[in-house]
Amino acid sequence: MGREEARERQSPEHVQNKTYKSDVEFAMQLSHCLLKIIGTWPVTSGASRMEKIRPKILIATCCFLLGFLIVPCWLNILLKEDDGWLRLKMLGPLNFCTMALMKYCVLISHGNGITHCIRFVETDWRNVKFDEDWKIMTRNAKLGRYVTILCFVFMYSAGTFFSLVMPLTSGNPLPDGNVSVRPFNFPGYYVFFDAQPSPNYEVVFSLHFICTFVMFTTTTGIYSLAIMLVMHACGQFQIVMSRLENLVNGNERECDTLEERLTVIVEHHLRIFRFSARMEKALHQIWLVEVMSCTTSICFAGYYLMREWKHSERISVLTYISLLVSFIFNIFMLCYIGEILIEQCRKIGTISYMIDWYDLPKRKALDLVLVIAISNRVTKMTAGKFMDLTLSNFCTILKASVAYFNMLRNMTT
Protein backbone atom coordinates (compact mmCIF):
# COMPACT_ATOMS: atom_id res chain seq x y z
CA MET A 1 0.00 0.00 0.00
CA GLY A 2 2.84 2.40 0.81
CA ARG A 3 4.44 1.79 -2.55
CA GLU A 4 1.17 2.62 -4.32
CA GLU A 5 0.72 5.79 -2.28
CA ALA A 6 4.24 6.85 -3.22
CA ARG A 7 3.53 6.28 -6.90
CA GLU A 8 0.36 8.37 -6.65
CA ARG A 9 2.34 11.30 -5.24
CA GLN A 10 5.14 11.46 -7.77
CA SER A 11 6.99 14.74 -8.08
CA PRO A 12 6.75 16.72 -11.34
CA GLU A 13 10.18 15.59 -12.56
CA HIS A 14 8.91 11.97 -12.65
CA VAL A 15 5.93 12.87 -14.85
CA GLN A 16 6.19 11.04 -18.19
CA ASN A 17 3.06 12.49 -19.82
CA LYS A 18 3.51 16.25 -19.92
CA THR A 19 -0.12 16.80 -20.98
CA TYR A 20 -1.59 14.60 -18.26
CA LYS A 21 -3.48 17.48 -16.60
CA SER A 22 -5.54 18.17 -19.72
CA ASP A 23 -5.99 14.42 -20.24
CA VAL A 24 -7.26 13.95 -16.68
CA GLU A 25 -9.59 16.93 -17.08
CA PHE A 26 -10.97 15.42 -20.30
CA ALA A 27 -11.55 12.02 -18.69
CA MET A 28 -13.11 13.35 -15.48
CA GLN A 29 -14.81 16.53 -16.65
CA LEU A 30 -18.42 15.32 -16.57
CA SER A 31 -18.05 13.48 -13.25
CA HIS A 32 -16.27 16.47 -11.77
CA CYS A 33 -18.98 18.92 -12.85
CA LEU A 34 -21.90 16.79 -11.66
CA LEU A 35 -20.44 15.77 -8.30
CA LYS A 36 -19.04 19.22 -7.59
CA ILE A 37 -22.55 20.70 -7.87
CA ILE A 38 -23.73 18.54 -4.95
CA GLY A 39 -20.48 18.91 -2.97
CA THR A 40 -19.28 15.30 -3.22
CA TRP A 41 -16.27 15.71 -5.50
CA PRO A 42 -13.06 15.13 -3.48
CA VAL A 43 -11.17 18.24 -2.43
CA THR A 44 -7.48 18.30 -3.37
CA SER A 45 -4.84 18.60 -0.66
CA GLY A 46 -3.71 22.01 -1.93
CA ALA A 47 -7.21 23.52 -1.99
CA SER A 48 -7.85 26.91 -0.44
CA ARG A 49 -9.91 27.35 2.71
CA MET A 50 -12.95 28.45 0.72
CA GLU A 51 -12.66 25.44 -1.57
CA LYS A 52 -12.70 23.19 1.50
CA ILE A 53 -15.70 24.95 3.06
CA ARG A 54 -17.83 25.12 -0.11
CA PRO A 55 -18.54 21.34 -0.33
CA LYS A 56 -19.73 21.30 3.29
CA ILE A 57 -22.14 24.15 2.57
CA LEU A 58 -23.42 22.38 -0.55
CA ILE A 59 -23.87 19.09 1.32
CA ALA A 60 -25.82 20.82 4.11
CA THR A 61 -27.99 22.60 1.53
CA CYS A 62 -28.71 19.42 -0.43
CA CYS A 63 -29.57 17.50 2.75
CA PHE A 64 -31.96 20.29 3.79
CA LEU A 65 -33.66 20.27 0.38
CA LEU A 66 -34.06 16.49 0.38
CA GLY A 67 -35.40 16.55 3.93
CA PHE A 68 -37.79 19.40 3.07
CA LEU A 69 -39.29 17.24 0.32
CA ILE A 70 -39.22 13.76 1.89
CA VAL A 71 -40.44 14.42 5.45
CA PRO A 72 -43.68 16.30 4.53
CA CYS A 73 -44.46 13.69 1.87
CA TRP A 74 -44.21 10.85 4.37
CA LEU A 75 -46.31 12.82 6.86
CA ASN A 76 -48.92 13.34 4.16
CA ILE A 77 -49.09 9.63 3.35
CA LEU A 78 -49.14 8.49 6.97
CA LEU A 79 -51.25 11.18 8.66
CA LYS A 80 -53.36 13.14 6.19
CA GLU A 81 -54.15 11.44 2.88
CA ASP A 82 -57.11 9.02 3.00
CA ASP A 83 -57.51 8.22 -0.70
CA GLY A 84 -55.81 4.89 -1.51
CA TRP A 85 -55.01 5.77 -5.14
CA LEU A 86 -53.46 9.11 -4.20
CA ARG A 87 -51.35 7.40 -1.55
CA LEU A 88 -50.15 4.89 -4.12
CA LYS A 89 -49.48 7.66 -6.64
CA MET A 90 -47.32 9.45 -4.07
CA LEU A 91 -45.45 6.30 -3.05
CA GLY A 92 -43.48 5.93 -6.32
CA PRO A 93 -41.95 9.43 -6.36
CA LEU A 94 -41.35 9.25 -2.62
CA ASN A 95 -39.58 5.91 -3.03
CA PHE A 96 -37.26 7.49 -5.61
CA CYS A 97 -36.61 10.48 -3.33
CA THR A 98 -35.79 8.26 -0.35
CA MET A 99 -33.44 6.12 -2.45
CA ALA A 100 -31.77 9.28 -3.78
CA LEU A 101 -31.15 10.44 -0.21
CA MET A 102 -29.66 7.03 0.65
CA LYS A 103 -27.36 7.18 -2.41
CA TYR A 104 -26.29 10.69 -1.48
CA CYS A 105 -25.43 9.67 2.10
CA VAL A 106 -23.50 6.58 0.94
CA LEU A 107 -21.66 8.71 -1.62
CA ILE A 108 -20.58 11.12 1.12
CA SER A 109 -19.54 8.33 3.49
CA HIS A 110 -17.30 6.73 0.84
CA GLY A 111 -15.53 9.95 -0.10
CA ASN A 112 -12.08 8.64 0.90
CA GLY A 113 -12.44 5.52 -1.22
CA ILE A 114 -13.54 7.57 -4.21
CA THR A 115 -10.56 9.89 -3.68
CA HIS A 116 -8.17 6.91 -3.83
CA CYS A 117 -9.77 5.73 -7.08
CA ILE A 118 -9.39 9.17 -8.63
CA ARG A 119 -5.72 9.27 -7.58
CA PHE A 120 -5.21 5.93 -9.32
CA VAL A 121 -6.65 7.37 -12.53
CA GLU A 122 -4.51 10.51 -12.30
CA THR A 123 -1.37 8.42 -11.72
CA ASP A 124 -2.09 6.23 -14.74
CA TRP A 125 -2.51 9.28 -16.97
CA ARG A 126 0.66 10.81 -15.51
CA ASN A 127 2.68 7.68 -16.28
CA VAL A 128 1.61 7.23 -19.91
CA LYS A 129 4.83 6.69 -21.86
CA PHE A 130 3.79 5.60 -25.36
CA ASP A 131 1.39 7.06 -27.92
CA GLU A 132 -0.36 3.72 -28.35
CA ASP A 133 -1.19 3.58 -24.63
CA TRP A 134 -2.38 7.18 -24.73
CA LYS A 135 -4.68 6.41 -27.67
CA ILE A 136 -6.18 3.41 -25.87
CA MET A 137 -6.89 5.44 -22.74
CA THR A 138 -8.28 8.38 -24.72
CA ARG A 139 -10.56 6.10 -26.74
CA ASN A 140 -12.03 4.62 -23.56
CA ALA A 141 -12.38 8.06 -21.97
CA LYS A 142 -14.32 9.28 -25.03
CA LEU A 143 -16.62 6.28 -24.90
CA GLY A 144 -17.25 6.92 -21.21
CA ARG A 145 -18.14 10.55 -21.95
CA TYR A 146 -20.61 9.56 -24.67
CA VAL A 147 -22.36 7.07 -22.40
CA THR A 148 -22.49 9.61 -19.56
CA ILE A 149 -24.04 12.20 -21.88
CA LEU A 150 -26.73 9.69 -22.86
CA CYS A 151 -27.49 9.04 -19.18
CA PHE A 152 -27.58 12.80 -18.60
CA VAL A 153 -30.03 13.41 -21.47
CA PHE A 154 -32.40 10.61 -20.48
CA MET A 155 -32.36 11.42 -16.77
CA TYR A 156 -32.77 15.19 -16.99
CA SER A 157 -35.38 14.99 -19.77
CA ALA A 158 -37.49 12.67 -17.64
CA GLY A 159 -36.89 14.81 -14.55
CA THR A 160 -37.92 18.01 -16.34
CA PHE A 161 -41.13 16.43 -17.59
CA PHE A 162 -42.03 15.10 -14.16
CA SER A 163 -41.09 18.07 -11.97
CA LEU A 164 -41.98 20.96 -14.29
CA VAL A 165 -44.02 20.08 -17.39
CA MET A 166 -46.55 17.68 -15.83
CA PRO A 167 -47.63 19.89 -12.89
CA LEU A 168 -47.75 23.06 -15.02
CA THR A 169 -49.92 21.40 -17.69
CA SER A 170 -52.22 19.52 -15.32
CA GLY A 171 -55.04 22.01 -15.94
CA ASN A 172 -57.03 24.06 -13.46
CA PRO A 173 -56.53 23.78 -9.71
CA LEU A 174 -58.21 20.73 -8.19
CA PRO A 175 -61.40 21.51 -6.19
CA ASP A 176 -61.35 20.31 -2.59
CA GLY A 177 -64.66 21.27 -1.02
CA ASN A 178 -64.86 25.06 -1.21
CA VAL A 179 -61.10 25.43 -1.73
CA SER A 180 -59.10 25.10 -4.96
CA VAL A 181 -55.99 22.99 -4.42
CA ARG A 182 -53.07 23.67 -6.73
CA PRO A 183 -51.22 20.45 -7.63
CA PHE A 184 -47.78 19.33 -6.47
CA ASN A 185 -45.95 16.33 -7.83
CA PHE A 186 -44.69 15.83 -4.28
CA PRO A 187 -47.74 16.73 -2.15
CA GLY A 188 -46.78 17.13 1.47
CA TYR A 189 -48.24 17.86 4.86
CA TYR A 190 -46.57 21.05 6.09
CA VAL A 191 -47.37 21.26 9.79
CA PHE A 192 -46.35 24.87 10.36
CA PHE A 193 -47.72 26.60 7.24
CA ASP A 194 -50.19 26.23 4.38
CA ALA A 195 -48.46 25.55 1.05
CA GLN A 196 -51.43 26.58 -1.15
CA PRO A 197 -51.69 30.40 -0.94
CA SER A 198 -49.22 32.63 -2.78
CA PRO A 199 -46.32 33.10 -2.40
CA ASN A 200 -46.05 29.88 -0.35
CA TYR A 201 -47.07 27.75 -3.31
CA GLU A 202 -44.48 29.30 -5.62
CA VAL A 203 -41.72 28.95 -3.01
CA VAL A 204 -42.54 25.30 -2.25
CA PHE A 205 -42.90 24.48 -5.95
CA SER A 206 -39.50 26.05 -6.68
CA LEU A 207 -37.87 24.17 -3.81
CA HIS A 208 -39.37 20.92 -5.10
CA PHE A 209 -37.93 21.61 -8.55
CA ILE A 210 -34.48 22.36 -7.10
CA CYS A 211 -34.70 19.22 -4.97
CA THR A 212 -35.56 17.17 -8.06
CA PHE A 213 -32.49 18.65 -9.73
CA VAL A 214 -30.37 17.54 -6.75
CA MET A 215 -31.78 14.00 -6.92
CA PHE A 216 -31.20 13.59 -10.64
CA THR A 217 -27.75 15.18 -10.38
CA THR A 218 -26.86 12.70 -7.63
CA THR A 219 -28.01 9.76 -9.75
CA THR A 220 -26.34 10.99 -12.93
CA GLY A 221 -23.16 11.85 -11.03
CA ILE A 222 -22.95 8.33 -9.60
CA TYR A 223 -23.38 6.83 -13.06
CA SER A 224 -20.79 9.16 -14.57
CA LEU A 225 -18.30 8.24 -11.83
CA ALA A 226 -18.91 4.50 -12.28
CA ILE A 227 -18.63 4.75 -16.08
CA MET A 228 -15.45 6.82 -15.89
CA LEU A 229 -13.73 4.43 -13.47
CA VAL A 230 -14.81 1.24 -15.26
CA MET A 231 -13.82 2.53 -18.70
CA HIS A 232 -10.44 3.54 -17.28
CA ALA A 233 -9.96 0.01 -15.91
CA CYS A 234 -10.93 -1.41 -19.31
CA GLY A 235 -8.33 0.82 -20.95
CA GLN A 236 -5.66 -0.47 -18.58
CA PHE A 237 -6.63 -4.07 -19.37
CA GLN A 238 -6.29 -3.27 -23.08
CA ILE A 239 -2.80 -1.85 -22.50
CA VAL A 240 -1.79 -5.08 -20.74
CA MET A 241 -3.16 -7.05 -23.72
CA SER A 242 -1.13 -4.91 -26.10
CA ARG A 243 2.03 -5.61 -24.11
CA LEU A 244 1.27 -9.32 -23.97
CA GLU A 245 1.03 -9.42 -27.77
CA ASN A 246 4.52 -7.90 -27.96
CA LEU A 247 5.98 -10.00 -25.15
CA VAL A 248 7.90 -12.49 -27.33
CA ASN A 249 9.39 -10.25 -30.00
CA GLY A 250 9.29 -6.93 -28.19
CA ASN A 251 8.44 -3.63 -29.82
CA GLU A 252 10.50 -0.97 -31.50
CA ARG A 253 9.22 1.53 -28.96
CA GLU A 254 10.66 -0.50 -26.05
CA CYS A 255 14.37 -1.09 -25.50
CA ASP A 256 14.18 -3.72 -22.79
CA THR A 257 14.69 -7.40 -22.17
CA LEU A 258 12.14 -10.19 -22.03
CA GLU A 259 12.43 -10.29 -18.25
CA GLU A 260 11.68 -6.58 -17.98
CA ARG A 261 8.69 -6.83 -20.32
CA LEU A 262 7.22 -9.70 -18.31
CA THR A 263 7.80 -7.84 -15.03
CA VAL A 264 6.03 -4.75 -16.36
CA ILE A 265 3.06 -6.84 -17.50
CA VAL A 266 2.65 -8.60 -14.15
CA GLU A 267 3.01 -5.38 -12.13
CA HIS A 268 0.56 -3.52 -14.36
CA HIS A 269 -1.91 -6.39 -14.19
CA LEU A 270 -1.78 -6.50 -10.40
CA ARG A 271 -2.17 -2.73 -10.25
CA ILE A 272 -5.42 -2.97 -12.22
CA PHE A 273 -6.72 -5.53 -9.75
CA ARG A 274 -5.88 -3.21 -6.85
CA PHE A 275 -7.67 -0.37 -8.60
CA SER A 276 -10.73 -2.54 -9.32
CA ALA A 277 -10.82 -3.73 -5.71
CA ARG A 278 -10.79 -0.15 -4.44
CA MET A 279 -13.50 0.84 -6.92
CA GLU A 280 -15.67 -2.08 -5.83
CA LYS A 281 -15.16 -1.27 -2.14
CA ALA A 282 -16.02 2.40 -2.67
CA LEU A 283 -19.12 1.91 -4.82
CA HIS A 284 -20.71 -1.48 -4.16
CA GLN A 285 -23.14 -0.11 -1.55
CA ILE A 286 -24.20 2.69 -3.90
CA TRP A 287 -24.82 0.15 -6.65
CA LEU A 288 -26.95 -1.92 -4.26
CA VAL A 289 -29.17 1.09 -3.51
CA GLU A 290 -29.31 1.89 -7.23
CA VAL A 291 -30.42 -1.64 -8.14
CA MET A 292 -33.19 -1.48 -5.51
CA SER A 293 -34.15 2.01 -6.68
CA CYS A 294 -34.36 1.05 -10.36
CA THR A 295 -36.26 -2.18 -9.62
CA THR A 296 -38.98 -0.39 -7.66
CA SER A 297 -38.98 2.72 -9.88
CA ILE A 298 -39.50 0.66 -13.05
CA CYS A 299 -42.40 -1.11 -11.31
CA PHE A 300 -44.08 2.14 -10.21
CA ALA A 301 -43.46 3.97 -13.51
CA GLY A 302 -44.97 1.07 -15.46
CA TYR A 303 -48.01 0.98 -13.19
CA TYR A 304 -48.57 4.75 -13.40
CA LEU A 305 -48.17 4.57 -17.18
CA MET A 306 -50.89 1.92 -17.38
CA ARG A 307 -53.28 4.01 -15.25
CA GLU A 308 -52.68 7.25 -17.15
CA TRP A 309 -52.97 5.46 -20.50
CA LYS A 310 -56.49 4.35 -19.54
CA HIS A 311 -57.43 7.96 -18.74
CA SER A 312 -55.77 9.32 -21.95
CA GLU A 313 -53.57 11.80 -20.07
CA ARG A 314 -51.08 12.56 -22.85
CA ILE A 315 -48.56 14.61 -20.88
CA SER A 316 -48.60 12.13 -18.00
CA VAL A 317 -48.20 9.22 -20.42
CA LEU A 318 -45.23 10.93 -22.08
CA THR A 319 -43.72 11.71 -18.68
CA TYR A 320 -43.94 8.15 -17.40
CA ILE A 321 -42.64 6.75 -20.68
CA SER A 322 -39.59 9.02 -20.40
CA LEU A 323 -39.07 7.97 -16.77
CA LEU A 324 -39.43 4.30 -17.66
CA VAL A 325 -36.92 4.60 -20.51
CA SER A 326 -34.51 6.50 -18.27
CA PHE A 327 -34.61 3.93 -15.44
CA ILE A 328 -34.25 0.97 -17.80
CA PHE A 329 -31.41 2.61 -19.74
CA ASN A 330 -29.52 3.52 -16.58
CA ILE A 331 -29.64 0.06 -15.01
CA PHE A 332 -28.81 -1.46 -18.40
CA MET A 333 -25.69 0.71 -18.69
CA LEU A 334 -24.63 -0.18 -15.15
CA CYS A 335 -24.92 -3.89 -15.91
CA TYR A 336 -23.35 -3.44 -19.35
CA ILE A 337 -20.18 -1.77 -18.07
CA GLY A 338 -19.96 -4.51 -15.45
CA GLU A 339 -20.14 -7.07 -18.26
CA ILE A 340 -17.46 -5.22 -20.24
CA LEU A 341 -15.15 -5.20 -17.20
CA ILE A 342 -15.47 -8.99 -16.81
CA GLU A 343 -14.95 -9.52 -20.55
CA GLN A 344 -11.80 -7.38 -20.67
CA CYS A 345 -10.39 -9.21 -17.66
CA ARG A 346 -10.97 -12.60 -19.28
CA LYS A 347 -9.44 -11.48 -22.57
CA ILE A 348 -6.03 -11.21 -20.92
CA GLY A 349 -6.11 -14.92 -20.15
CA THR A 350 -7.18 -15.69 -23.72
CA ILE A 351 -4.36 -13.61 -25.21
CA SER A 352 -1.88 -15.27 -22.83
CA TYR A 353 -2.80 -18.59 -24.44
CA MET A 354 -2.73 -17.20 -27.99
CA ILE A 355 0.72 -15.55 -28.04
CA ASP A 356 3.76 -17.42 -29.43
CA TRP A 357 4.74 -18.73 -26.01
CA TYR A 358 6.55 -21.68 -27.64
CA ASP A 359 9.18 -19.22 -28.91
CA LEU A 360 10.04 -18.22 -25.36
CA PRO A 361 12.95 -19.77 -23.47
CA LYS A 362 11.77 -22.73 -21.44
CA ARG A 363 12.05 -21.06 -18.02
CA LYS A 364 10.38 -17.87 -19.30
CA ALA A 365 7.49 -19.85 -20.77
CA LEU A 366 6.85 -21.17 -17.27
CA ASP A 367 6.81 -17.59 -15.95
CA LEU A 368 3.89 -16.91 -18.29
CA VAL A 369 1.84 -19.31 -16.18
CA LEU A 370 1.76 -16.57 -13.51
CA VAL A 371 -0.02 -14.20 -15.90
CA ILE A 372 -2.51 -16.93 -16.86
CA ALA A 373 -3.13 -17.74 -13.20
CA ILE A 374 -3.79 -14.08 -12.37
CA SER A 375 -6.20 -13.87 -15.32
CA ASN A 376 -8.36 -16.58 -13.76
CA ARG A 377 -9.27 -14.07 -11.08
CA VAL A 378 -12.11 -12.12 -12.67
CA THR A 379 -12.78 -8.52 -11.67
CA LYS A 380 -16.47 -7.85 -11.04
CA MET A 381 -18.81 -5.04 -10.13
CA THR A 382 -21.34 -6.11 -7.51
CA ALA A 383 -24.42 -4.63 -5.89
CA GLY A 384 -23.58 -4.82 -2.21
CA LYS A 385 -21.59 -8.01 -2.88
CA PHE A 386 -24.94 -9.78 -3.29
CA MET A 387 -25.30 -9.69 -7.06
CA ASP A 388 -22.86 -9.32 -9.95
CA LEU A 389 -23.72 -6.48 -12.32
CA THR A 390 -23.94 -8.36 -15.62
CA LEU A 391 -26.34 -8.48 -18.56
CA SER A 392 -27.86 -11.71 -17.27
CA ASN A 393 -28.66 -10.02 -13.97
CA PHE A 394 -30.06 -7.03 -15.88
CA CYS A 395 -32.70 -9.46 -17.14
CA THR A 396 -33.19 -10.63 -13.55
CA ILE A 397 -33.81 -7.03 -12.43
CA LEU A 398 -36.39 -6.51 -15.19
CA LYS A 399 -38.12 -9.76 -14.26
CA ALA A 400 -38.30 -8.64 -10.63
CA SER A 401 -39.77 -5.28 -11.69
CA VAL A 402 -42.41 -7.00 -13.83
CA ALA A 403 -43.25 -9.36 -10.96
CA TYR A 404 -43.74 -6.42 -8.57
CA PHE A 405 -45.78 -4.64 -11.26
CA ASN A 406 -48.13 -7.62 -11.65
CA MET A 407 -48.47 -7.93 -7.89
CA LEU A 408 -49.31 -4.22 -7.60
CA ARG A 409 -51.82 -4.44 -10.43
CA ASN A 410 -53.55 -7.46 -8.90
CA MET A 411 -53.77 -5.76 -5.51
CA THR A 412 -55.45 -2.64 -6.95
CA THR A 413 -57.91 -4.23 -9.39
* Separation between Cα atoms, residue 195 and residue 86, nearest integer Å: 18
Question: Among 269, 252, 285, which residue's Cα sits nearest to residue 372?
Answer: 269
Q: Helix 20-37 and helix 111-126: axis angle, to 10°?
A: 160
Q: What is the spatial distance between Cα 137 and Cα 217, in angstroms, rounded to a whole number?
A: 26
Between these two residues, 178 and 45, which has the higher pLDDT value?
45
Structural domain including 251 reads 110-171+219-411
101 falls within a domain: no
230 — pLDDT class (breaks 50, 70, 90): very high
Indicate if the pLDDT at residue 367 is higher than 90. Answer: no
- Residue 76 domain-assigned (yes or no): no
| In-domain check, residue 23 | no
Identify whether 127 is part of a domain.
yes
Q: What distance in Å separates the CA atoms of residue 119 and residue 191, rounded to the nearest whole number?
A: 47
Instruction: Report DSSP state, residue 173.
Output: P
**C-alpha–C-alpha distance, residues 247 and 260, integer Å:** 10
pLDDT higher than threshold 50 for residue 399: yes
Task: Please state the domain count of the chain.
Answer: 1
Residue 357 has pLDDT above 50, yes or no: yes
Average pLDDT across the chain, whole number: 84
306: buried, middle or exposed (CB in 10 Å: 19+, 13-18, 0-12)? middle
Tell me, what's the pLDDT at 44? Answer: 76
Please state, for a pLDDT cut of 90, what percent of the chain lies above it: 38
In a domain, 5, yes or no: no
Averaged over 224-240, what is the pLDDT? 92
Residue 229 lies in a domain: yes
305 versus 4: the higher-pLDDT residue is 305
CB 163 within 8 A of CB 47: no
**Residue 230 belongs to a domain:** yes
Determine the 3-state secondary structure of 307 from DSSP: helix
CA 178 to chain centre: 47
192: left (phi over 0), alpha (psi -120 to 50) or beta: alpha
Q: What is d(CA 129, CA 257) in angstroms, rounded to the nearest whole number?
A: 17
Q: Could you tell me which residue, 67 or 253, shows the higher pLDDT?
A: 67
pLDDT for 3: 47
What CA–CA distance (Å, rounded) separates 44 from 182?
A: 46
User: What is the DSSP-derived secondary structure letter of residue 280?
Assistant: H
In degrees to the nearest 10, what's the CA dihedral of 104, 183, 312, 152?
A: -30
> Is it the case that residue 201 has pLDDT exceeding 50?
yes
pLDDT above 80 for 258: no
pTM: predicted TM-score of the whole model, two decimal places: 0.88
Task: Give 345's contacts (C-beta < 8 A, 6+ positions apart).
Answer: 237, 375, 378, 379
For residue 296, is it within any domain?
Answer: yes
285 within 8 A of 110, measured Cβ to Cβ: yes
CA angle 34, 120, 127 (to 5 degrees): 115
Task: Please tell me the predicted confidence (pLDDT) of residue 250.
Answer: 64
Least confident of 142-146, 192-196, 219-223, 407-411: 192-196
SS3 for 302? helix
